[in-house]
Amino acid sequence: MKRRVRVRTSLCRALRAAVLAGVATSCATHGAPPRVAPSPSAPTPREAELPSVASASPIRVQIADHGSRRVVTLDIDDYVVGCVMAEIGVYGLPPAVAERVLEMQALLCRTNAVANRGRHAQDGFDLCSGSHCQIYRVPDNDAMTKLARRAVASTRGQIVMHEGKPIQAIFHADCAGHTSAPETVWGGSEPYLRARADDFCLRLHTPAWTFTPDRDRLREALNRNPNTRVGHDLRDVRVVARDEAGRASRIELRGEGSVVVRGAAFRWALLQAFGARSLKSTHFTVRRQGGSFVFQGEGNGHGVGLCQLGALARARDGHSAETILRFYYPGIQIAS
């Protein structure tokens, strides 16, 4: 385990609470299978499919409401406000820190909107409001939403670009000291998504977590997914490879036979069965204990791209939204 610097201030508690409250519902946090990071074998978008950066035309968003679905047409900045409010919380932060954090998140959400607009064209809308595209919630009219609206207005028309194209602005809640490259998490790569040491999130003590599933329930969870199927038996779970951040990149499942799977695939199978608070990251150790497996880990999310906890700590230190983005996505530009 990495040594953590425990900083006991009310601000730190507020920052942690902000991350936990704001990010906990995000798939970007919890690591759905890659919506980005195309693997070398996956088809890459054709130039004609890439959205026009200049396009600020309204965006059609499918909203799921109490089991029913409807499509609304939104001004892109109204859409970004709803995404910002869904993806990060800034309650309890000093106004100047909150402003920098919200500006950063507005740039991320607008960039993802532009990069992925039209993803659901065949379904009759542009983007869904779930983690598949980007989480969107109809915003309230409270003080935080007003702050978010101001941040969206102050970054109007700006997105994060790499070599003339909008980036896939991937982020997660807490990298626990080192981010990972998509190569070791899902496969595929982007030049602006690299593994980087991040000691800022370590300044805010986040507790290690433990998840202890019963062996039979774990076997059932793994068997629900063809990639992680073990059959009638589950004798052992072993980490056989780690990336430079310490995340389990390859995991051996010994059941009727033996299968080696990506850490992200293993985690995804568990999140589907046990929920978002189960295996919070692939930064864990695992051992058998009686009829259970004990997973002990740190961090929250897949670990690729921007670490929101580190970003909050940087904003608290006075870093601008652009400085923060340049750290987590090296080589990018903010373009209007």
> Please, what is the minimum distance in Å from the beta carbon of residue 322 to Zn ion?
18
By beta-carbon proximity to Zn ion, the closer residue of 40 and 124 is 124
Size of the site for Zn ion (CB under 5 A): 8
By beta-carbon proximity to Zn ion, the closer residue of 167 and 195 is 195
Q: Which of 201, 261, 279, 315 binds Zn ion (CB under 5 A)?
A: 201
**Contact by Cβ (8 Å): 255, 235:** yes
Q: Applying CB under 5 A, does 132 fall inside the site for Zn ion? A: yes
Contact letters (x/-) for Zn ion, 98-127, by CB under 5 A?
------------------------------
Q: How far is CA 9 from the centre of its chain?
A: 26
**Contact by Cβ (8 Å): 104, 320:** no
**Contact by Cβ (8 Å): 160, 334:** yes
By beta-carbon proximity to Zn ion, the closer residue of 128 and 144 is 128
Nearest 5°: phi and psi at 285?
-115, 155
- For residue 207, give the nearest of 11, 334, 19, 10 by alpha carbon: 19
> Please, what is the minimum distance in Å from the beta carbon of residue 50 to Zn ion?
17
Full 3-state SS string of 71-122: EEEECHHHHHHHHHHHHCCCCCCCHHHHHHHHHHHHHHHHHHHHHHCCCCHH
By beta-carbon proximity to Zn ion, the closer residue of 180 and 249 is 180
By beta-carbon proximity to Zn ion, the closer residue of 35 and 215 is 35
**Contact by Cβ (8 Å): 51, 107:** no
- For residue 309, give the nearest of 17, 19, 12 by alpha carbon: 19
Interface residues for Zn ion in 23-52 (CB under 5 A)? none
Q: Applying CB under 5 A, does 198 fall inside the site for Zn ion? A: yes
**Contact by Cβ (8 Å): 189, 183:** yes
d(CA 28, CA 33): 10
> Please, what is the minimum distance in Å from the beta carbon of residue 172 to Zn ion?
9
> Please, what is the minimum distance in Å from the beta carbon of residue 130 to Zn ion?
6
Q: Applying CB under 5 A, does 128 fall inside the site for Zn ion? A: yes
Q: DSSP 3-state assignment of 206? A: coil
d(CA 134, CA 61): 10
Q: Applying CB under 5 A, does 133 fall inside the site for Zn ion? A: yes
Q: Which of 15, 307, 311, 324 binds Zn ion (CB under 5 A)?
A: 307
Interface residues for Zn ion in 149-188 (CB under 5 A)? 175
> Please, what is the minimum distance in Å from the beta carbon of residue 150 to Zn ion?
26
**Contact by Cβ (8 Å): 253, 261:** yes
By beta-carbon proximity to Zn ion, the closer residue of 92 and 130 is 130
Give contact residues for Zn ion (rule: CB under 5 A): 128, 132-133, 175, 198, 201, 307, 310
